[in-house]
């Protein structure tokens, strides 16, 4: 009997546990629409529908389908079983499949206090015991008066650099110095205020991004350390700047109590004037850049090109001068150490210092540095100098990229520093003078525009005067995507020949089958490179150039079309049909990615556009293909949006989402699958940096359609801090969309938060990532420059928009904005705007040399304090955009806005 009782008790316990488990995995949800008629079905993943019935309205239910009609809202109830409601992968997702506005949600997200409310779809999702109507929920949420992040930005003051810089990380960076076109560059790293301190300043000669290696240092990487001041102390008072704020001539000031060390460094040629530099063969420079890829044919070419490129008769030379001054009232000592091999005191290489001539010499007999003190040979590698109050001492050293003979070192010792300095300064100034001129009334941005152009130019490698150029992106070889803003900014600033020579890189390295791939296995380059060629054509209308490269353009287009045709499989309908598959960046995500297909479709579309006059038949064929591709992408996009779970926004509404590729069931960041993918310092890279927002930028989605708004809404809520993406924020195209939509405050919020964190605030050098990976990253810098261009001028169809998202403070009294000779799709452009706001007046003029005049020009001239004008001449005023609209533009416009 006792044994029987125990068995019965155990059975009852097991039945109770089973019942409890079943109850915990059961759930009821109500879905109510504010519309009269609806027809559809319901699907559940990782769970099952136990019961489906109509709560409000009349109709019928059959299996998982329903038809319903009512005068005041429709409501159905879904009872779920075997639901996965706990945190973690494989959650239960309920998908509402209707002809219009289908959507999905996580069952575990349904909550009485924060109901799923999608006003664009006129639907709410509530727990089964919640009897509130759609109208009840809507009213309650509106009364909460909460805000999305973008709404909050719009209700705050405009962001400035100063306000953003108080909140963002301050990332000083090493500086690169060179002569442009030549891959022999130097990286100079000083003890920087915000960075982990080394024990010395470091100079690193590089071949493009590859460290120089020499037998003198056991075939290791060559670095040289040097010291100014007493050493690493509790304070690090170093201030750094560029010559005139913009030129790649580096200045730094070290305050060591009373002693001040004012240093300058620049790179020039060993013998010839810097303007005579011939550059490095682009393919050889490519070989020394990170991530490069070559075909067998290109490897054969390198065998003959490399020896000639490396066996030069003249070195690039880093010239350094520090003027030391005693700012105190009593005599003080100064200390310094001129360069020697290594990066730390304990690193030993075989070399000697000769105090008779100031030569630092490897055991091989080659000289790696020549040093002077007050114009005479430096007597010792390390020195202490007693200086009287206001007394100065000048130390100089000349460091060739590779060591030189004693005879060549003697010639370096005789160089005139001032002559070389002026020669180098003139060289860089002339480059700026040959470019269009942009002037804005914010010193930092003004300087960054000019410094940025020269930073791009510094590592655009190739032979002068007319050789193919490699538009490198920091330490990396050119990439079709990442080099695109570099080339497009060159075109915008009037450097059209430079842009064309950079495009030749992608044409010269095109594979025999038309594929374009130069970096790290990226498969997105073909479309992106074709798009940039199309952009160049819009700036130049150079039909002869198009005819000269027509066969290569068509070959690349045919490659993309054949690749697409391989994916026209019935099983891919709505889930990648007619879409190419592959990875777009470092992550090995070989899927039907929206970014990959957006660029490919855009590239095809641009080639169809530029071939109209060169080959009308091919242009027509490619237009048909591009349009069909666009439609296939859109079908897969909207299917993906229907099955990807909605997310909550800050204002109480919920928003549809879209995964980065068609194979996914939702945002990758949701971890609906059991996987790990964190990389590059963030969980958000696949969705935010490489995701479907590219479809708006790539013209698959219209910026004004609701789906584009949805993307911007949930991106800003989930994936941005300071309205800026994580890790590598210039990969996110949301600021283009914000500019395109005239979202002034959100645009400026992104613009200033990103640049204040990403770029060195003294030298304007950009990092690649927010965790200080990869310096002198010109891809990021070029997108900053293009964002500045969009802020100042942007084209759309036959409309030219000027000053669409400029800060109000740029039109404070006495301030002016000037665009002189910039290039647009319509031709050369000249714009002047001047504020006389104390007199109640802002004036603007627009003119240019137009290949095709814009039909409409809009000029936004906002009052610094937001006041409305009392009179406008020269166009019609739009109070919503604060812009003056000039219709039927004749080629010139004069505008006066009176307040």
Of 744, 578, 717, 552, the residue nearest 649 (C-alpha): 717
Res. 193 pLDDT band, cuts 50 70 90: low
pLDDT of residue 197: 61
Which has the minimum average pLDDT: 17-26, 142-151, 183-192, 452-461? 17-26
Q: Which residues of 711-721 are buried (b: 16+ CB within 10 A; e: fewer)?
A: bbbbbbbbbbe
Question: What one-character-per-residue DSSP string does 324-351 give?
Answer: EEE-SSS-EEEEEEEEEESSSTT----E
Q: What is the pLDDT of residue 194?
A: 65
pLDDT tens for residues 747-785?
Answer: 999 999 999 999 999 999 999 999 999 999 999 999 999
Phi-psi region of 231 (alpha: psi -120 to 50; beta: other; left: phi over 0): left
Calculate the average pLDDT of the chain. Answer: 95
Q: What are 149's two structure tokens?
A: 């992040």
Per residue in 624-649, pLDDT (tens digit) is 999 999 999 999 999 999 999 999 99
- C-beta neighbour count of 422 within 10 angstroms: 11
Rounded to whole angstroms, the Cα distance separating 487 from 785 reads 11
Return the higher-pLDDT residue of 308 and 658.
Answer: 658
pTM of the complete model: 0.95
Task: Specify the pLDDT at position 669.
Answer: 97
DSSP for 661-717, written as a single string? BTT-SS-GGG--SS----BTTBS-IIIIISSTTHHHHTTSS-TTSHHHHHHHHHHHH
pLDDT over 70 percentage in the chain: 97
- The arithmetic mean of pLDDT across residues 425-445, rounded, is 98
Span 881-896, mean pLDDT?
98
Phi, psi of 743 (to 5 degrees): -85, 85
Nearest Cα to Cα of residue 255 among 328, 178, 308, 311: 328
Residue 578 has a pLDDT of 98
pLDDT at 190: 87
Q: In sequence order, what are the residues at sequence separation of 6 or more whose Cβ sits closer than 8 angstroms to the Cβ of residue 346? A: none
844 touches 895 (CB < 8 A):
yes
Distance (Å, whole) CA 673 – CA 372: 65
What's the pLDDT score for residue 236?
A: 82
Q: What is the pLDDT of residue 410?
A: 97
Helix (H) or strand (E) holding 631: helix 616-643
Q: 21 pLDDT exceeds 90?
A: no
Identify the H or E element spanning 394: strand 392-400
The CA–CA distances, whole Å, from 834 to 607, 808, 813, 840 equal 40, 13, 8, 12
pLDDT in tens, 246-302: 999 999 999 999 999 999 999 999 999 999 999 999 999 999 999 999 999 999 999
pLDDT surpassing 50 at residue 304: yes
pLDDT of 868 above 50: yes
- Torsion sign over Cα 719, 722, 727, 728: positive
pLDDT per position as a tens digit, 532-549 = 999 999 999 999 999 999
Three-state DSSP at 497 gives helix
Segment 92-109 shows an average pLDDT of 98
Percent of the chain scoring above 90 in pLDDT: 93
Cis peptide before 505 (omega within 30 of 0): no
758 phi/psi in degrees, rounded to 5: -85, -30
Tell the residue number behind the tokens 């060629």, with chain if given: 533
- Of the candidates 137, 103, 126, the one whose C-alpha atom is nearest the C-alpha of residue 29 is 126
Buried b (16+ CB within 10 A) or exposed e, 156-173: eebbebebbbeebeebbb
What's the rounded Cα separation, in Å, for the pair 104 and 262? 63
Q: Which residue shows structure tokens 């930073």? A: 455
DSSP, res 761: T
Contact 827, 863 (CB under 8 A): no
Q: Identify the weakest region by mean pLDDT among 179-188, 341-350, 617-626, 811-820.
A: 341-350
Give the length of the chain. Answer: 899
Q: Which long-range contacts (CB under 8 A, 24 or more apart) does 105-114 make?
A: 105/645, 105/646, 105/654, 106/645, 107/27, 107/29, 107/44, 107/47, 107/80, 107/83, 108/83, 108/84, 109/645, 109/648, 110/27, 110/29, 114/648, 114/652
Closest CA to 603 of 697, 550, 552, 531: 531
């Amino acid at each position: 009997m006792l044994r029987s009782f125990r068995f019965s008790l155990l059975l009852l316990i097991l039945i109770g546990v089973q019942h409890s488990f079943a109850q915990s995995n059961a759930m009821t949800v109500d879905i109510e629409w504010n519309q009269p008629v609806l027809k559809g079905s319901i699907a559940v993943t990782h769970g099952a529908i136990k019961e489906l019935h109509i709560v409000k309205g009349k109709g019928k239910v059959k299996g998982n389908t329903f038809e319903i009609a009512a005068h005041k809202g429709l409501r159905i109830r879904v009872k779920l079983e075997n639901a996965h409601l706990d945190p973690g992968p494989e959650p239960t997702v309920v998908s509402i499949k209707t002809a219009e506005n289908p959507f999905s949600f996580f069952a575990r997200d349904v909550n009485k206090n924060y109901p799923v409310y999608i006003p664009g779809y006129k639907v709410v999702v509530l727990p089964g015991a919640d009897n509130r109507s759609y109208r009840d929920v809507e009213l309650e949420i509106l009364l909460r008066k909460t805000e999305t992040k973008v709404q909050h930005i719009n209700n705050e003051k405009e962001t400035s650099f100063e306000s953003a810089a108080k909140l963002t990380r301050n990332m000083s960076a090493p500086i690169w110095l060179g002569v442009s076109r030549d891959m022999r560059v130097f990286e100079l790293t000083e003890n920087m205020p915000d960075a982990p301190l080394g024990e010395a300043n470091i100079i690193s000669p590089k071949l493009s991004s590859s460290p120089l290696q020499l037998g003198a240092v056991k075939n290791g990487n060559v670095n040289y350390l040097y010291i100014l001041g007493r050493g690493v102390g509790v304070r690090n008072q170093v201030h750094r700047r560029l010559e005139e704020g913009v030129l790649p001539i580096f200045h730094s000031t070290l305050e060591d109590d009373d002693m001040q060390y004012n240093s300058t460094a620049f790179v020039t040629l060993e013998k010839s004037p810097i303007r005579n530099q011939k550059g490095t063969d682009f393919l050889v420079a490519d070989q020394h850049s990170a991530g490069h890829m070559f075909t067998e044919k290109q490897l054969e070419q390198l065998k003959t090109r490399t020896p000639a490129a490396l066996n030069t008769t003249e070195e690039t030379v880093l010239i350094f001068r520090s003027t030391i001054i005693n700012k105190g009232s009593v005599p003080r000592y100064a200390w310094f150490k001129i360069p020697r091999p290594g990066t730390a005191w304990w690193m030993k290489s075989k070399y000697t210092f000769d105090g008779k001539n100031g030569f630092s010499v490897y055991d091989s007999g080659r000289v790696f540095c020549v040093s002077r003190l007050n114009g005479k040979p430096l007597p010792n590698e390390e020195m202490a100098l007693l200086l009287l109050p206001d007394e100065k001492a000048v130390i100089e050293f000349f460091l060739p990229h590779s060591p030189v003979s004693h005879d060549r070192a003697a010639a370096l010792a005789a160089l005139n520093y001032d002559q070389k300095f002026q020669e180098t300064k003139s060289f860089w100034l002339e480059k700026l003078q040959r470019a269009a001129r942009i002037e804005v009334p914010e010193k930092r941005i003004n300087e960054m525009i000019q410094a940025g152009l020269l930073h791009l130019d510094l590592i655009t490698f190739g032979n002068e005067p007319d050789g193919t150029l490699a538009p490198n992106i920091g330490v990396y070889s050119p990439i079709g995507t990442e080099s695109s803003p570099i080339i497009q900014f060159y075109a915008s600033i009037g450097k059209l020949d430079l842009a064309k020579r950079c495009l030749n890189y992608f044409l010269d390295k095109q594979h025999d089958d038309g594929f374009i791939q130069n970096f790290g296995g990226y498969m997105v380059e073909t479309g992106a490179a074709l798009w940039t060629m199309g952009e160049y054509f819009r700036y130049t209308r150079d039909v002869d150039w198009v005819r000269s490269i027509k066969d290569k353009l068509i070959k690349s287009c045919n490659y993309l079309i054949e690749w697409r045709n391989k994916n026209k499989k019935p099983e891919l309908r709505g889930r990648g049909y007619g879409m190419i598959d592959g990875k777009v960046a470092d992550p090995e995500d070989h899927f039907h990615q929206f970014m990959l297909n957006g660029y490919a479709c855009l590239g095809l579309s641009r080639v169809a556009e530029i071939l109209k006059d060169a080959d009308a038949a091919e242009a027509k064929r490619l237009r048909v293909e591009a349009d069909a591709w666009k439609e296939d992408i859109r079908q897969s996009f909207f299917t993906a949006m229907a099955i990807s779970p909605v997310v909550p926004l800050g204002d109480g509404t919920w928003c549809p989402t879209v995964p980065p590729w068609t194979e996914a069931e939702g945002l990758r960041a949701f971890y609906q699958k059991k996987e790990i993918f964190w990389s590059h310092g963030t969980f958000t890279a696949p969705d935010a940096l490489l995701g479907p927002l590219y479809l708006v930028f790539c013209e698959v989605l219209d910026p004004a359609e609701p789906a584009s708004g949805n993307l911007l809404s949930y991106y800003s809520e989930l994936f941005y801090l300071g309205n800026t993406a994580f890790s590598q924020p210039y990969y996110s195209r949301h600021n283009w969309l914000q500019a395109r939509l005239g979202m002034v405050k959100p645009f400026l919020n992104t613009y200033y938060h990103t640049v204040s964190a990403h770029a060195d605030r003294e030298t304007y050098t950009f990092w690649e990532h927010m965790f200080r990976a990869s310096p002198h990253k010109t891809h990021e810098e070029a997108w900053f420059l293009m964002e500045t261009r969009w802020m100042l001028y942007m084209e759309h169809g036959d409309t030219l928009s000027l000053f669409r998202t400029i800060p109000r403070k740029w039109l404070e009294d006495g301030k002016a904005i000037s665009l002189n000779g910039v290039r647009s799709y319509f031709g050369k452009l000249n714009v002047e705007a001047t504020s006389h706001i104390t007199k109640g007046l802002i004036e603007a003029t627009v003119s240019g040399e137009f290949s095709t005049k814009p039909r409409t020009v809009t000029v936004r001239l906002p009052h610094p304090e937001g006041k409305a004008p009392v009179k406008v001449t020269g166009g019609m005023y739009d109070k919503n955009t604060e812009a003056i609209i000039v219709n039927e533009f004749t080629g010139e416009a004069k505008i006066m806005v009176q307040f």
